[in-house]
């Protein structure tokens, strides 16, 4: 695997591959890689001739400086994981390389980017669109791989890619979970072993909520009540939405695809965890 730090070197290397007719898969990451990322990389390796994994802790998508400060940074271990998964290129640029000047572009895709995470973290999706659009234009991938754990992020990136005319295929990949159901996330590294156990209740409760036979509103209220009843967990929001538009739904018959998206504060720090469940 080649580690590349500059855009010009990346472009040069990929131009050669394109000349040879190689297909290119891109897996954007912020590092602190875990099995969830590894599953995306392995899938890209299987489906493309060349896999590029970007490792870039993108400052413009953090609206809370403390969150950025405590985000785990593990470049050497990340590169070892990528080698094992068969990635061809790790693109690990500096902040100056990506943002020599502040990026003033504004992306706006309401309601997809204004509800849920968009409402709780103003500017977050704008930062995601800034970096992902840059990566798409440097790499010009045939396919881009994104974890469904960040369900809303994929919906926003799809709209941005359509809007800017990127011709790649966005490939959503299933959430990878611990055996107790906790969705793998780089933020889990910030939880104590006890908090990790507590956090596993989030998915257990979401999963149970699928078989209650309650209305949408009752299901919503039940999930919030059950999670909040567990010491160390506090729901920030739980929204039951159309799986494509992310607009709120009020009845199970309203649309063909329905997803419940949740954000929960866990532990004393506290760490913000997100997850979702598909109802239909």
Q: Which sequence positions are flagged as catalytic? A: 37
Nearest distance in Å: CB 1, ligand PAF: 18
- Closer to ligand PAF at the Cβ: 28 or 243? 28
Phi, psi values for residue 21, rounded to 5°? 80, 20
Residue 52 binds ligand PAF, judged by CB under 6 A: no
Nearest distance in Å: CB 103, ligand PAF: 13
DSSP 4: E
Stretch touching ligand PAF by CB under 6 A, among 14-22, 28-36, 104-112, 272-280 = 28-36
Residue 275 binds ligand PAF, judged by CB under 6 A: no
Nearest distance in Å: CB 175, ligand PAF: 12
d(CA 189, CA 184) in angstroms, rounded, equals: 10
- Closer to ligand PAF at the Cβ: 170 or 230? 170
14, 25, 26, 29: which one binds ligand PAF (CB under 6 A): 29
d(CA 52, CA 24) in angstroms, rounded, equals: 7
Residue 28 binds ligand PAF, judged by CB under 6 A: yes
Contacts of 76 (CB under 8 A, 6+ apart): none
Q: Which of residues 114-133 bind ligand PAF (CB under 6 A)?
A: 128, 131-132
d(CA 29, CA 145) in angstroms, rounded, equals: 10
d(CA 267, CA 71) in angstroms, rounded, equals: 16
Residue 48 binds ligand PAF, judged by CB under 6 A: no
Contacts of 214 (CB under 8 A, 6+ apart): 222
- Closer to ligand PAF at the Cβ: 29 or 201? 29
Ramachandran assignment for 183, one of left (phi > 0), alpha (psi -120 to 50 degrees), beta (any other): beta
Residue 58 binds ligand PAF, judged by CB under 6 A: yes
Question: In b/e form, how buried is each residue of 208-223, taking b as 16+ CB within 10 angstroms?
Answer: ebeeeeeebeebbebb
> Kind and range of the H or E element at 128?
helix 124-139
- Closer to ligand PAF at the Cβ: 50 or 131? 131
Nearest distance in Å: CB 117, ligand PAF: 10
d(CA 97, CA 54) in angstroms, rounded, equals: 13
- Closer to ligand PAF at the Cβ: 132 or 277? 132
Cα 251 versus chain centre, distance:
28
- Closer to ligand PAF at the Cβ: 68 or 224? 68
Nearest distance in Å: CB 78, ligand PAF: 12
Beta-ladder partners of 109 = none
Residue 150 binds ligand PAF, judged by CB under 6 A: yes
Residue 32 binds ligand PAF, judged by CB under 6 A: no
First and final C-alpha spacing in the chain: 40
24, 30, 173, 223: which one binds ligand PAF (CB under 6 A): 30
Cα 67 versus chain centre, distance:
16
Binding site for ligand PAF (CB under 6 A): 28-30, 58, 61, 128, 131-132, 150, 153
């Amino acid at each position: 695997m080649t580690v590349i730090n500059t855009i010009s070197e990346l472009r040069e290397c990929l131009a050669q591959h394109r000349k040879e007719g190689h297909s290119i898969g891109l897996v954007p990451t912020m590092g602190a890689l875990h099995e969830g990322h590894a599953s995306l990389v392995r899938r890209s390796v299987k489906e493309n001739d060349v896999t590029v994994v970007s490792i870039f802790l993108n400052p413009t998508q953090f609206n809370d400086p403390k969150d950025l400060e405590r985000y785990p940074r593990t470049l050497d271990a990340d590169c070892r994981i990528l080698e094992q998964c068969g990635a061809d290129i790790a693109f690990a640029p500096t902040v100056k390389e990506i943002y020599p000047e502040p990026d003033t572009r504004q992306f706006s895709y309401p309601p997809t980017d204004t509800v849920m995470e968009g409402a709780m973290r103003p500017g977050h999706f704008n930062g995601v669109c800034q970096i992902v659009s840059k990566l798409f234009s440097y790499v010009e991938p045939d396919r881009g791989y994104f974890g469904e754990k960040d369900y809303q992020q994929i919906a926003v990136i799809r709209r941005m890619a359509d809007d800017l005319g990127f011709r790649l295929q966005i490939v959503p990949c299933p959430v990878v979970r611990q055996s107790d159901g906790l969705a793998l996330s780089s933020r889990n590294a910030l939880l104590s072993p006890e908090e990790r156990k507590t956090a596993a209740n989030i998915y257990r409760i979401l999963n149970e909520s699928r078989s209650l036979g309650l209305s949408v509103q009752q299901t919503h209220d039940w999930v919030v009540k059950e999670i909040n009843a567990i010491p160390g967990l506090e729901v920030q929001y739980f929204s039951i939405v159309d799986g494509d538009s992310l607009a709120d739904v009020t009845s199970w018959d309203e649309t063909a695809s329905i997803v419940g998206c949740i954000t929960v504060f866990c532990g004393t720090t506290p760490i913000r965890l997100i997850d979702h469940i598909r109802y239909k």
